[in-house]
Amino acid sequence: MTKKKIMIPIMSIMLATSSMTAIPSLTSVNAAQAVKEAYTYQVETQEGKQYIVLTDYKGSEEKITIPDQINGIEVKSIQDGFGKNSKLKSITLSKNIASEKDTKRSLAGLNQITTLEEIQTVKDNAAYQSEDGILYTKDKKELVAYPKSKKSETYVMPSEVEKAGELSLANLKYLKNLTFSKKIKIIPECSNSSIENVIIPDQVKVIDESTFDTCKNLKKVTFGKNITTIGDGAFANCTALKTIKLPNNLKNIEEIAFVNTSLKSVIIPDSVVKIGASAFDKDVKLKKPSYLKKIKKTGGAVYYEARATVKTSRKKTSYKAAKITKIRANTKKVTLKKGKKAKIQTKIFYAKKLKKGYLDPSILKFTTSNKKIAAVSKYGNIKGVKKGKATITVKLRTSGIKYKVNVVVK
């Protein structure tokens, strides 16, 4: 793509029209007389063909329709910053507005117009469609722009949507209830919005940093079951947030994730391996697994990290749980009589190397295939209940690494 850089005033264009056979190269030209609106634009060339990119709207109208052409050249795109300082409430995209693939430009700039209440498209636009005043790609797989001043309080994202444009849901003035599509994998930034209730689908694994920063009205968050990471400042300054139920597969809560909220107590799932420094306010009571150890950084900041304690006859050694690559039992089969007990002991491989001693069971989860045959305690103690066979599964809580022990009760 090449950009033309010659500045030509409107009057000059009009005077020269009678003698010109080719369209001049233009950039940042006021096209008010050509389209009866106060637009500025630039002409670009791609594969030898010229088209126009609108750079700004300087008019006073609240409702506009993007022109098909200016001076015989198709208007194909809108640049970031277009209408940013206007009073626009409604924009209708013409048939020639082309896709990002064709112009190498997205329409994300529409998300910068704070007064905008709706975005419409004409029916024969091949690249985009509008539904309820919200802009999507034609196949509806991407949310392109959500008007910042749209007055609807509830938005249920269409099921076809797989991704959303950057800042498409940030700085929304009226939206209260937000439900994402079940197909979306990355939550766009929603910061500084009026959202009170948000539902995050199971497809999402990471909530990126600052995603809901300064959503001061946010009261309820429903997390998808597969979220593993809550990023830096993801819910910082959500001052109305009083309670949360964190998902059971969560691994990391990063720094200042929930700072400056109204949380008083939080239950930390036993899958968590790390809580970053100042993730919660100092007065928040954390009910957390015993293997999450408090660690002080240089400078005094405190964070929590999952540590596995291995005991030998002489000492105890603490290892980072995240670096345990394998666990195994001291025996693969246990045989005991009805009413008798046995204990499972676990060895670890740390960075693929077997370590001496046995693992403190507090970081392990024990389950039995048949508690009527063999019961197992949270410390790995097996009790024979009646004659038969059962399987005990032992899993490292922080990673899902596991092994099995066959039990025979005689």
Task: Look up the CATH number of the domain holding residue 230.
Answer: 3.80.10.10
Q: How confident is the model at residue 110 (pLDDT cuts 50, 70, 90)?
A: very high
The yes-or-no verdict on residue 337 having pLDDT over 70 is yes
Residue 15's H or E segment, with its range, is helix 10-16
> How many domains is the chain partitioned into structurally?
3
Average pLDDT value for the chain: 90
Both 135 and 271 in a single domain? no
Which domain-ending residue is among 113, 142, 171? 142
Both 8 and 85 in a single domain? yes
Q: What is the DSSP letter of 258?
A: B
**Is residue 309 assigned to a domain?**
no
Both 157 and 282 in a single domain? yes
* pLDDT value at residue 22: 34
**Is residue 304 assigned to a domain?**
no
Average pLDDT over residues 261-287: 95
* pLDDT value at residue 37: 55
* pLDDT value at residue 47: 85
The yes-or-no verdict on residue 31 having pLDDT over 70 is no
Phi-psi domain of 388 (left: phi exceeds 0; alpha: psi -120 through 50; beta: other): left
The yes-or-no verdict on residue 39 having pLDDT over 70 is yes
Both 254 and 281 in a single domain? yes
The yes-or-no verdict on residue 30 having pLDDT over 50 is no
Both 168 and 243 in a single domain? yes
* pLDDT value at residue 176: 98
Average pLDDT over residues 319-341: 94
* pLDDT value at residue 21: 31
Among 14-28, 176-190, 225-239, which is the least confidently predicted range? 14-28
**Is residue 71 assigned to a domain?**
yes
Both 159 and 227 in a single domain? yes
Which domain-ending residue is among 264, 288, 312? 288
Both 157 and 138 in a single domain? no
**Is residue 201 assigned to a domain?**
yes
Instruction: Return the exposure string of 157-185: e unless at least 16 CB atoms fall within 10 Å of the residue's CB, then b.
Output: beeebbebbebbbbbbeebbebebbeebe
Both 255 and 362 in a single domain? no
Domain, as residue range, for 234: 151-288
CA 147 remoteness from chain centre? 20
Task: Look up the CATH number of the domain holding residue 128.
Answer: 3.80.10
Average pLDDT over residues 76-83: 94
pTM of the model: 0.82
Both 174 and 267 in a single domain? yes
Both 339 and 250 in a single domain? no
Which domain-ending residue is among 115, 142, 169? 142
Both 217 and 83 in a single domain? no
Both 72 and 202 in a single domain? no
Task: Look up the CATH number of the domain holding residue 333.
Answer: 2.60.40.1080
**Is residue 299 assigned to a domain?**
no
The yes-or-no verdict on residue 84 having pLDDT over 80 is yes
Quote the CA–CA distance of 209 and 231 in Å, as a whole number: 4
**Is residue 297 assigned to a domain?**
no
Among 167-176, 180-189, 293-302, which is the least confidently predicted range? 293-302
The yes-or-no verdict on residue 254 having pLDDT over 70 is yes
The yes-or-no verdict on residue 1 having pLDDT over 60 is no
Alpha helix stretches (DSSP H) within 222-349: none
**Is residue 49 assigned to a domain?**
yes
Structure tokens at 169: 């849901």
The yes-or-no verdict on residue 352 having pLDDT over 60 is yes
27-30: long-range pairs with CB below 8 Å, 24+: 27/3, 28/55, 30/58
Are the C-beta atoms of 256 and 278 separated by less than 8 Å? Answer: yes
The yes-or-no verdict on residue 204 having pLDDT over 90 is yes
The yes-or-no verdict on residue 9 having pLDDT over 60 is no
Average pLDDT over residues 223-231: 97
**Is residue 315 assigned to a domain?**
no
* pLDDT value at residue 272: 92
